[in-house]
A = this chain, B = another copy of it.
Amino acid sequence: MHGYVGEHKLLAAVDCIIFGFDGWNLKLLLVQRNMDPERNKWSLMGGFIKPSETPENAANRVLEQLTGLKNVYMEQFHVFGKPDRDPVERTLSITYYALIDINQYKEQILQNQRAEWFLLTEIPALIFDHNEMVNLAKRKLRYKAALHPILFQLLPEKFTIPQLQALYEGVYNTNFDDRNFSRKLLSTGLLLKLPEKDKLSSKKGAFYYRLDQTNYTKNFEKFLNLVPNPDKFF
């Protein structure tokens, strides 16, 4: 076979949008670029797809090379394909996103001097169309978090209701009414109360909970009420 003669060839890259939660704040993992153009500017973690790789392989390799992070579940997100998005040469970018518990990976990530967690509210100007990528991924995260208990998986094994609320407030960049939020949350049947309290964060203390996966399917519909009017966020 001779190939498809005369068709337009281009480069394909992957870019990884890694959100993390440290127990109280939602953050984004960025890296300082060490190549031209835009050397030393902040960037998502990315790289070109190699001949033997699927896009998924490339995303995992890039993330591991740049941060030491292995076996992170990433989901394929959106393709960014404006012809001039990379000023050097036409490059399609296939983006991936992940949600991780920062404390679980702290040591590994710190191995790379150029990688850093930024608060979602303090993201700097990024190279190319990376800010657009991050903004679209934030919308996607809001959408998914309103319809599935995915955020629970960002928490440590035991957590308090104020912590979970802080996470939802970070994702939606808003404040939820404390009493409503905690009432709806407990009515999902997804949480098991533990006997211990966290006494560091408030005078009264807050009970720890853990996720109860056994009721997941049965309680799917109740969960859907947790974020009021989800459609206004996406």
A residues neighboring B (CB under 8 Å): 1, 3-4, 7-12, 37, 48-56, 76, 78-79, 81-83, 87-92, 94, 147, 217, 220-221, 224-225, 229-232
Nearest CB in chain B: distance from A234 CB, A? 11
A94's partner among B81, B83, B220 (CB-CB below 8 A) is: B81
Residues on B with C-beta less than 8 A from A8 are: 11, 48-51
A88's partner among B3, B12, B49, B225 (CB-CB below 8 A) is: B3
**Known: A12-B10, A92-B92, A230-B220. Is A55-B79 also a contact (CB below 8 A)?**
yes
Complexed CA–CA distance, A94 and B4 (Å)? 18
CB-based nearest B residue for A94: B79
Residues on B with C-beta less than 8 A from A52 are: 83
A78's partner among B10, B76, B89, B147 (CB-CB below 8 A) is: B76
Residues on B with C-beta less than 8 A from A81 are: 12, 49, 54-56, 94
Complexed CA–CA distance, A89 and B1 (Å)? 9
Nearest CB in chain B: distance from A201 CB, A? 32
Residues on B with C-beta less than 8 A from A79 are: 55, 76, 79, 94
Residues on B with C-beta less than 8 A from A12 are: 10, 12, 81, 92
Complexed CA–CA distance, A198 and B4 (Å)? 53
Cβ A89 vs Cβ B4 within 8 A: yes
Nearest CB in chain B: distance from A55 CB, A? 4
CB-based nearest B residue for A37: B1
CB-based nearest B residue for A220: B231
Residues on B with C-beta less than 8 A from A4 are: 11, 48, 88-89, 91
Q: Which of A9, A49, A52, A55 has the most CB of B within 10 A?
A: A9
